[in-house]
Amino acid sequence: VIEIGQPEHSVVTTCAYCGVGCAFKAEMRGEEVVRMVPWKDGKANRGHSCVKGRFAWGYTTHKERILKPMIRERIEDPWQEVSWDEAFNFAAAKFKGIQAKYGRDAVGGITSSRCTNEETYLVQKLIRGGFGNNNVDTCARVCHSPTGYGLSQTFGTSAGTQDFDSVEDTDVVMIIGANPASAHPVFASRLKKRLRQGAKLIVLDPRRTEMVESAHVKALHLPLMPGTNVAVVTALAHVIVTERLVNEAFVRERCDWSEFEEWVAFVAQDKYSPEATAIMTGVDPKVLREAARIYATGGNGAIYYGLGVTEHSQGSTTVIAIANLAMATGNIGRPGVGVNPLRGQNNVQGSCDMGSFPHELPGYRHISGDAVREQFEAMWNVKLNKEPGLRIPNMFDAAIEGTFMGLYVQGEDILQSDPNTKHVVAALSSMECVIVHDLFLNETANYAHVFLPGSSFLEKDGTFTNAERRIQRVRKVMTPRNGYADWEVTILLAKAMGFEMHYNHPSEIMDEIAALTPTFTGVSYAKLDELGSVQWPCNEKAPEGTPVMHIGGFVRGKGKFIVTEYVATDERTGPRYPLLLTTGRILSQYNVGAQTRRTENAVWHSEDRLEIHPHDAEQRGVRDGDWVRLASRAGETTLRAEITDRVSPGVVYTTFHHPDTQANVITTDFSDWATNCPEYKVTAVQISPSNGP
Ligand code: SF4
C-alpha cells in the first residue's frame, strides 16, 4: 500500500542551480517529486546539499510556468496562444524575413548556462549552421568570460585546474572576490572543514564575507577598494619577487624563462610595493606582505575566485595576475594547489565548452581554423562562416544602429541580468523579432514577439558540467509539462528555418560532441552511467577523465607569464557620486531569482538591501531599515538600508535577486577590455534618504 507522500521510485540527477553540481536522488511518486535527497555517491557533493537544491525545485510546477507557445506581431499587442507548429513557423518566417531584408548577420542567439550541454550545443549549431553566422554568445559573457581568456593565455585551457577533492591537500586557501558560503555552499563546507583542520585562510574582498566571519578560523582579510584587484594581486607578486620567495626550480622547468624575467622586472617596480599601492587599494601594507609570505611559503596554496575578479574592466588582467602568482610559487599541477574559478551557474562551464562564444567552436577552437571548421562542416553538412560573430553587447549596439534585428534567447533573462537596463531596453525595442525560450514570462519577454515554453531540469535528459570540469548526467524524472524538452524545441525551430537536425535522444548529441571535440572523445552516456561522472579532458590519454590539470606540463606547453599593468577603471567617484557600489548574493536566492522566488517557502522571502557603513550612513542621516535612493550616472533605484561595518567606509553593497530592485538600472556600460564582461562590481553612486519606491 502506498501512503500519500511515500515515493515509489527514485532517479539520480544533478542540481540545476550553482556550479558545485550536487547529485540528487529525485524520489518520485508517479510523475510527482516527493522529495530531493542529496545522493551519497555524488562525487561533487558526497551526500550534502544546500537549501536551494534540496527545497527550491517547486518552481518546476509553479502556476506561472508558461506551457503553451505564444506569438504577437508587436510588443504592444496581447500575447496569443498558438500551436507549436504555428509558433515555429511564425518565428522562422520572421527570422528569414529579417535575413532577406537586412542580411545574413542580422540575427543571432544566446545560449543558456542553465540548460544542458546538449541543448547548448544545438543552439550554437542552429546559429552557425542554420542562421549562417557566428552571432552566438552566452551568459558567461557577463560572468566568467575573463576566466576563459586569462587561463587560456597563461595555462592553455579555459577552465579551473583542480577537482574539489584537491582542497583536502591544501595548506593555504586564498579566496579572491568570491563568497562561497552564499554562492557555493556545499563546497564552502569542504573549505571550512579543511580550515578547521589547520589550513590558513586569506580573503581578498571589499566586504567582510561569511568566510571571513566564520567562527572557526581566523582569516587574513584584505578589504580592498572595488576595482583595485590588479594592483593588489600585483603587489602580492611584488613581495614574492623582492623577498625572493619565488619557486625558481618550478619556473625554470615549467615556464618560459624570458617571459618570467620580464614579469619579474615589471612587478619589482616600486609603484607595485605594498606601501605604494596602499593609498589606492586601501589595503594595509603589513597585512598584504603577510598574505604574500603565507601564500608563497605556507605549503600547498590554492586560489579560489569568483565574479569579484571577473566582472571588472580589468577582469581578464586579474585572472592573468592570479595565474602568474600560482606559477611563480609553483602552486600548480598537483593536488592541493591551483587556480580555481568558482563557476556561478550549474552549466556555465559546459556552455563555454560547447562553443557558445562567437569566435570558438566546441572545445575552444577558433572559428577561423580551416581544419577544425572543415571537420564541423563535414559532420553538419553545411558551409560555415569563418568570421567571429557578435558578442552580446555588440548585438545590443547593432540593434540600436538598425543592423541586428532578430534574437533567439534560451533560458536567460537578459533584461534583468545584463548591465545598463536602459540600453538593453533600447536594443530589444529596436529588434523586429525576439524569441524568448524560457520557463516563465520573464522581464525580457516584455520585449518578445515569440514565447517558446521551456522545460525544467526535471523534464529532460542531458548533462551538466560543474566548476571542476565534471560532466554529470541530468535525468528526466517527469514528462515535459510543456510538451517538449528544450533540445527538441531547438531542433523543431531549426527545422522550420530549413536546417534539419536529427537526434532521437540527447545521448546521440553527446556522441556527436565527442566525435568533434578532442577533450570529450572518451565521453558517452554509457561511461557516465558506469562511472557516475567524468572530468574533461576525457579521451584516449585520460579515459577516466582528468581531476587535476597541468601535471608535469601546461596544456599550452610552457606556462606564460604576462605583465599585468594596473589601469584604474573609468568609473570614477567624485563629489556627485562619492561611494562605490559592489554586488553579491545571499544563500537562499539564486541570481535574478526566477526559480527561487517561485518556490513556496518562507526561506525564499527576502529583499535586496543596501549595506552601508555606519560612518557613511550617519553623514547622510540614514538609519537601519530606512528607504534610500541609490543613484548612479546610469540610473537610480530605491532599497532599504542595512547599516553594517561589513563594508568599508566609501563602499556600499547590494544583492540583485529581485526584479523590483532593478540593481542593473544603475550599473554602467564599462566592461573588461578583452572579453566585454560587464563591470558589475564597481559603480560610483550616491545615496540619500527616500520615502520608498
Ligand atoms: Fe545545488 Fe549548488 Fe546548493 Fe549544491 S550547493 S545543492 S549545486 S545550489
Dihedral of CA atoms 524, 526, 530, 531 in degrees, nearest 10, equals 10
Residue 202 clears pLDDT 90, i.e. is over it: yes
C-alpha cell of 557? Answer: 606547453
Start-end of CATH 2.40.40.20 domains in the chain? 579-689
Whose C-alpha lies nearest to ligand 1, atom 2?
Answer: 18
* Mutational pocket test of ligand 1: of 20, 349, 603, the residue with most ligand atoms within 8 Å of the beta carbon: 20
Span 81-132, pLDDT tens digits? 999 999 999 999 999 999 999 999 999 999 998 899 999 999 999 999 999 9
CA 19–ligand 1 middle distance (angstroms): 7
pLDDT tier for residue 605 given thresholds of 50, 70 and 90: low
Among 136-150, 519-533, 628-642, which range has the highest average pLDDT? 519-533
List residues near ligand 1 (CB under 6 A).
15, 17-18, 20-22, 45, 49-50, 52-53, 185-186
Start-end of CATH 3.40.50.740 domains in the chain? 70-140+346-456+478-504
Beta bridge partners of 533: 472
> Is 1.20.120.80 the CATH number for 579-689?
no
Select 145-341's CATH number: 3.40.228.10, 3.50.40.10, 3.40.50.300, 3.40.605.10. Answer: 3.40.228.10
Residue 176 CA, chain-centre distance (Å), reads 15
Whose C-alpha lies nearest to ligand 1, atom 4?
Answer: 22
Ligand 1 atom with the smallest distance to the CA of 185 is 5
CA 50–ligand 1 middle distance (angstroms): 5
pLDDT score, position 54: 84
| DSSP 8-state secondary structure symbol assigned to residue 597 | G
CA 248–ligand 1 middle distance (angstroms): 40
C-alpha cell of 227? Answer: 576595482
Instruction: Give the DSSP H or E segment for 186.
Output: helix 185-196
pLDDT score, position 601: 61
Q: In angstroms, what CA-CA distances link 539 with 119, 534, 606?
A: 22, 10, 45
DSSP letter string, 35-77: EEEE-TT-TTTTT---HHHHHTTGGGG-TT---S-EE-SSTTS
Residue 448 clears pLDDT 90, i.e. is over it: yes
CA 177–ligand 1 middle distance (angstroms): 19
Span 319-358, pLDDT tens digits? 999 999 999 999 999 999 999 999 878 899 999 999 999 9
CA 239–ligand 1 middle distance (angstroms): 37
Ligand 1 atom with the smallest distance to the CA of 187 is 5
Q: Do 564 and 633 form a contact (C-beta atoms < 8 A)?
A: no
Q: Do 294 and 200 form a contact (C-beta atoms < 8 A)?
A: yes
Select 9-61's CATH number: 2.20.25.90, 3.40.640.10, 3.90.600.10, 1.10.645.10. Answer: 2.20.25.90
> Is 3.40.50.740 the CATH number for 70-140+346-456+478-504?
yes
Question: Does the N-terminal peptide bond of residue 575 adopt cis geometry, omega within 30 degrees of 0?
Answer: no
Quickly list H helices, 204-340. Answer: 210-213, 229-242, 248-254, 257-267, 274-281, 285-297, 307-310, 315-328
CA 322–ligand 1 middle distance (angstroms): 26
Tell me the pTM. Answer: 0.92
CB atoms within 10 A of CB 390: 21
Whose C-alpha lies nearest to ligand 1, atom 6?
Answer: 53
Q: Do 620 and 689 form a contact (C-beta atoms < 8 A)?
A: yes
* Mutational pocket test of ligand 1: of 15, 46, 51, 590, the residue with most ligand atoms within 8 Å of the beta carbon: 15
Separation between Cα atoms, residue 345 and residue 590, nearest integer Å: 9
pLDDT score, position 217: 73
Closest CA to 594 of 428, 413, 450: 413
pLDDT score, position 238: 98
